Amino acid sequence: MTKEELVKIIKDNFTNENGDIDIRGLKFDTNIHLSDMKVKGNLYQDYQNVKGDLYQDSQKVKGELSQDSQEVEGNLYQGHQEVEGHLFQGYQEVEGNLYQTCLRVEGKIYN
């Protein structure tokens, strides 16, 4: 199966009444790679529960980027963000170190 075929299957079977693709609640016992996504609408990545590491690097966002309410037992890295709107990074609870580098924001930064 190609990735294009997989996208068609997901669109055909997991589109909700608002026309959004809804694949919430999936459970995996392995690593997941969701990199290089091209989304014309909004991309929601809420309520992630990760026992390993969570990588969300090099985001390029035309709207707003919200990375709020993070609870991290290790280090939190939020770098290489390019945001045309506002950047929200509030309510971070980090037991290790917080790294926020290489941010380019046209709007305001809220943290």
Residue 108 one-letter amino acid:
K
Nearest CA to 103 among 38, 62, 69, 59?
Answer: 59
Maximum separation of any 2 CA atoms in the chain, in Å: 43
Q: Could you tell me the two tokens for 12?
A: 């055909």
The count of residues in the chain is: 111
Angle at 34 between CA 45 and CA 66, to 5 degrees: 30
Tens-binned pLDDT, residue by residue, of the chain (111 aa): 999 999 999 999 999 999 999 999 999 999 998 888 899 999 988 888 888 888 888 889 999 999 888 899 988 888 899 999 999 988 889 999 888 888 899 999 888
